[in-house]
Amino acid sequence: MSAVAVKSDLLNVAKKFGDVDTVVAEALRHYAIDQSVERIEAARVKIRGYEKKYGASYATFAHQVQTDAKFLRRIEAKHPLWEEDALEWKYRLDEVEEWTATLENILKR
Amino acid sequence: MDGNARKHFKAVTALALARLAQIHIVQDDITLSRAILEIHARWQSRDVRLKEIHTPSGNLYSYYVLQSGTVLIGFDNYPDTRVLKAKFGSDYRNHMGELVPHRHGRNKQSVELTEEMNAERFLDYLETFVDLE
């Protein structure tokens, strides 16, 4: 349990809804859920954009650029800055995984 | 991650503001375990694109200069088949996914392995690199 400073006017509002510790804990829980969902959705939008742009899943795309010189040349001709997409593509996939795990932990409590 | 990345991104942004024009911070997002910074800007008559990603498993970057959509010079450390083979030879398949710092030449017609690049060194490089025409 940690102590957090909360403005007294907000605290007074919270008290109207019941036990202040419970209300604050529940509010924080809702906030964490909302933020996690928002992060997951935003990352998924980016991932879908990359999948559409490159016509493949990240796993397929990453494998091909690392093993297939012809595929790499084709990608490079069409998307000369593909690397900046690829590094963010992986980043967003990891982000979805991380925030999904966070969300699941919150929901289990 | 949080404090260090914040300090680092602030420094990179300040550098970009000092040395580039028409700065557009596309994204600057930092959480406890990951961080991403993307800046688009102009240098002389060229487009400059900086992207950095910081995660516990490593830092990724791409620093590019373009003219009318054509790459003039670019540094990144994302692995592709050319750089993996250049670094690891026939054993490259055992190193897939490993970060490999490298530089692309004009229109990405050439590639060479490099030391790890960072935004400051990239901007220094721009100042001294005259063969961009």
ipTM: 0.92
Mutate to test the interface with A, among B46, B57, B78, B98 (most CBs of A within 10 A): B78
Q: Do B78 and A72 touch (CB under 8 A)?
A: no
User: A86-107 pLDDT, tens per residue?
Assistant: 999 999 999 999 999 999 999 9
Q: By the 8 A CB rule, do B111 and B103 touch? A: yes
With contacts defined as CB-CB under 8 Å, which chain B residues touch A66? 79-81, 84, 92, 96-97
Q: Secondary structure of chain B: what % helix, strand, coil (to 5)?
A: 35, 40, 25
Place of tokens 């990405």: B108
Nearest partner of B31 among A45, A21, A94, A79, judged by Cα: A94
Q: In angstroms, rounded to a whole number, what is the distance separating the alpha carbons of residues B10 and A102?
A: 28
User: B62-119 pLDDT, tens per residue?
Assistant: 999 999 999 999 999 999 999 999 999 999 999 999 999 999 999 999 999 999 999 9
User: B1-38 pLDDT, tens per residue?
Assistant: 667 899 999 999 999 999 999 999 999 999 999 999 99
Beta strands in A1-109 (DSSP E): none
Q: Do B108 and A63 touch (CB under 8 A)?
A: no
Q: In angstroms, rounded to a whole number, what is the distance separating the alpha carbons of residues B38 and B62?
A: 9
Q: Do A98 and B96 touch (CB under 8 A)?
A: no
Q: What residue type is B18 in one-letter code?
A: A
pLDDT in tens, chain A (109 residues): 778 888 888 888 888 988 988 988 899 999 999 999 999 999 999 999 999 999 999 999 999 999 999 999 999 999 999 999 999 999 999 999 999 999 999 999 7
- The size of chain B, in residues, is 133
On whether any CB of chain A is under 8 Å from the CB of B97, the answer is yes
Q: By the 8 A CB rule, do B61 and B41 touch? A: no
pLDDT at A10: 86
Q: For residue A17, give both structure tokens.
A: 């809804």
With contacts defined as CB-CB under 8 Å, which chain B residues touch A63? 96
With contacts defined as CB-CB under 8 Å, which chain B residues touch A87? 51, 53, 60-62, 76, 78
Q: Do B81 and A72 touch (CB under 8 A)?
A: yes
Q: Do A72 and B53 touch (CB under 8 A)?
A: no
Place of tokens 């036990």: A19
What's the distance, Cα to Cα, between the start and end of chain A in Å? 15
Q: Is the dihedral of CA A85, A89, A92, A98 positive or negative?
A: negative
